[in-house]
Amino acid sequence: MSFLLHSANTFTRVDRNKQNLFYQTYTSQGLSRPISLLINCTNYSATIDGVGQVHVVAKNAKGQTHYFSCSATPTKQLLFEDSPSTYFFNNLQLTYFKDKLHLFYTATNPTTKTTTLLHRIFSVNSQNVETLAVETLIQNFQDKEFSVVSSSDTLFIVFSDQKNVLELKYLKMKNDKFSLYTLLLSEFPIISFECSIIEEKINVIYLQNKYGLNELMYFNIDQNLSTHVCNIESIKGLSLFKYINFLWINYATNEALYTILSIDDGKSFSTPVLNSLQKNIHYLNFFSLSKKILQTNNLFVAISNNIQICTVYSMDTAGLHPNALPNNELDLFLDAIKFKFQQQYLKEYEMAKTKMDTKIETISERVTPNVAYVESAKPTPNVAYGESAKPTPNIAYGESKKTTPNIAYVEPTKSTPNIAYVEPTKSITPYSTFDEALLKPPAYSKQPFVLKDEPPARGMKTIQEEAPKLSKPQEMPPKVAPAAPKEESLPSSGPKDFKSLAQSFMQNYNTFDAQPLIKPD
């Protein structure tokens, strides 16, 4: 499989023409002449480091595996070679991760026919290769093909399990340690797959055979969900990439190249359409230093006198292609569409939020008392109107506690008369003489009346009820006229003295039914 490496508006293509391995660069100045690396090449791999240097590992027909540095004057260094009686090395996969070159490859024992997956780490200093470590990852590794991809902090090795054709697995290297995981489980046998790192996550497209029908599926590791894309009769290559914030799928059949679009991050896909580029199509592994512009690990590319990435070339707004100017008109149009979608989204969000807030308020009013009216959650009196939390009398209206009378109305105690209305006493001072009865009024309380516009105490009479009784003269019982005194002739001897007359008067007075002038109650 060929490789396309991108950095600083320069494409470097590493490919093989028959058995001759070469590399070639594409810049704004045009296409360079091919530079040969290895004759009789049987297997190879290439990558690019953080400064744009291209590194190649290739094996020749003699079983020798070499390292190449693609520069103006390429360097060559032997890494290892096959041992016919011990191991044959194959399936080279080179990648650059955390300032080191990582080579993954298989070693097959010709006697036992068992295969082991190996990992070699080496560094390049002044065009010299130094091996740092070699380790065994999986013994008895049965899958002949595997894919190596990496994010900013994690390296993945994805492969299918030959013992279980329904399963994809991956090795995850983080902090220099490898762990084995299951990537996905399919309901039907997996025929082929391709994976790419998009937004720092593994995204997979794979072909499964469902009762004789080939189905193209998309798998998102975050959602752990497979989505049906379309049905395909035959396939020669798959490419999954993200460009202008959308997911794209290109796949090739024996007849043509097709393109599929997803605008909702893989939840749904469009119907396949013919790609605008159909001639001189090559399927290449892709590595770029500008990972945010085009996120993928493999692409379909039309190669002639220049490089044209299928689907991307016709709407290149970032200037990826060195021989083409950025499409500013398309960039402006896409920004306008994006802005319109954002405005529509905000409008729908505000409408949904308003409906939700209204629903929440309605539910809150049903469940929780209305705080605006100072209603408590429990049957607690309204403090705003002077009600206390416990059954305490309303002080605002002068109600005291159980043992305290109403202060506003000066309610007297049971043993104290109403001072405001001064209840008269019932005892009357007896008369000592008739003269006292005529001259003295009844002996009422000497306390004066205090007139107030308040209702009387319980059981007391109002002053209006008492006034007529005091002002109206008491009706005296009819007096019986005394019998006429007998005429007595005065003694001839002359008038009697005063004392004798008084005694006589008192004797006669006793015959009257003397009554007091005012009869007490």
Give the pLDDT confidence score for residue 475 in this predicted structure.
52
Give exposure, 228-263, as e/b (b: 16+ Cβ within 10 Å).
ebbebeebebbbbbbbeeebbbbbbeeeebbbbebe
User: 3-state DSSP call for residue 165?
Assistant: coil
Domain 1-141 has CATH 2.120.10.10: yes
Give exposure, 84-96, as e/b (b: 16+ Cβ within 10 Å).
eeebebbbbbbbb
A 10 A CB-CB count for 440 gives 13
Give the pLDDT confidence score for residue 333 in this predicted structure.
85
Give the pLDDT confidence score for residue 451 in this predicted structure.
45
pLDDT in tens, 156-187: 999 987 788 899 999 999 888 999 999 999 99
Pairwise CA distance, residues 80 & 183, whole Å: 32
CA 380 vs CA 22, 363, 376, 383: distances in Å? 89, 22, 6, 8
Give the pLDDT confidence score for residue 488 in this predicted structure.
47
Q: What is the largest CA-CA distance in the chain?
A: 201
Residues of the chain whose pLDDT is less than 50?
A: 374-377, 389, 395, 397-405, 407-408, 410, 412-413, 415-429, 431-432, 434, 437-438, 444-452, 463, 467, 469-472, 485-496, 512-521
Name the nearest CA neighbour of 158 among 144, 167, 168.
Answer: 168
CA 402 vs CA 392, 393, 406, 458: distances in Å? 8, 8, 10, 18
End-to-end Cα distance, the chain: 135
| Residue 275 structure tokens | 């790609």
Give the pLDDT confidence score for residue 369 in this predicted structure.
57
CA 56 vs CA 64, 65, 88, 299, 352: distances in Å? 14, 10, 20, 19, 55
**In terms of DSSP bridges, do strands 2-7 and 281-288 run parallel, antiparallel, or are they unpaired?**
parallel
pLDDT in tens, 230-272: 999 888 899 999 998 899 999 999 889 999 999 999 999 999 9
Instruction: Quickly list DSSP for 35-93.
Output: EEEESSEEEEEEEE-TTS-EEEEEEETTSEEEEEEESSS-EEEEEEE-BTTTBEEEEEE
* Rg over CA atoms, the chain: 59
Give the pLDDT confidence score for residue 312 in this predicted structure.
94
Pairwise CA distance, residues 116 & 139, whole Å: 5
Look at the alpha carbons of 273, 276, 278, 281 in this order and tell me if their dihedral is positive or negative: negative
Give the pLDDT confidence score for residue 306 in this predicted structure.
87
Q: Which secondary structure element, helix H or strand E, spans residue 337, and what is its range?
A: helix 328-367
Domain range summary for the chain, segments of one domain joined by +: 1-141, 189-340, 363-408, 413-469
Quote the DSSP letter at residue 399. -
| Cβ-contact 272, 290 below 8 angstroms | no
